[in-house]
């Protein structure tokens, strides 16, 4: 009687295929400017038409929260005002509202480093991707 040798089956592994990373529309617009991408991804609204408050109401809420001593809420409302100002394309107001939010809550907003470029990119994004 002869011993049969056992064949060891090895699982053939498929080679790993790397797929190219799909860039978001915003990443495509900013290109290699990581700082502007980070600034906008943290501040802009993808569809500001869904915000239920007008800029006037947002600012009234911010001032009321500030008067009430609720710094967290005031800072949040000023940041919302900044986001709405990005949508409106108003660089001056973007700087004003995010600076105010920074002072109140101490969070640093990268959009304040290059606000003109960030707002220009956001406007391009809105024209291209936001339904009219």
Tell me what the pLDDT averaged over the chain comes to.
88
Cα distances from 79 to residues 15, 83, 110, in angstroms, run 47, 6, 12
pLDDT beyond 90 at 123: yes
Domain chopping of the chain, boundaries: 44-129
Q: What's the mean pLDDT in 63-73?
A: 98
pLDDT of residue 19: 47
Q: What's the mean pLDDT in 35-64?
A: 95
What gap in Å lies between CA 96 and CA 22, rounded to an integer?
A: 35
Kindly report, residue by residue over 70-122, the tens digit of the pLDDT.
Answer: 999 999 999 999 999 999 999 999 999 999 999 999 999 999 999 999 999 99
């Amino acid at each position: 009687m002869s011993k049969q040798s056992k064949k060891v089956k090895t699982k053939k592994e498929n080679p790993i295929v790397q797929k190219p990373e799909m860039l978001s529309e915003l990443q495509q617009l900013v290109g290699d400017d990581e700082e502007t991408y980070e600034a906008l991804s943290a501040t802009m609204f993808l569809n500001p038409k869904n915000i239920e408050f007008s800029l006037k109401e947002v600012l009234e809420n911010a001032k009321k929260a500030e008067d009430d001593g609720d710094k967290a809420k005031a800072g949040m409302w000023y940041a919302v005002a900044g986001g709405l100002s990005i949508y409106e394309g108003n660089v001056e107001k973007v700087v004003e509202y995010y600076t105010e939010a920074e002072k109140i809550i101490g969070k640093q907003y990268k959009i304040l480093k290059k606000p003109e470029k960030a707002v220009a990119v956001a406007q391009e994004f809105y024209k291209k991707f936001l339904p009219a």
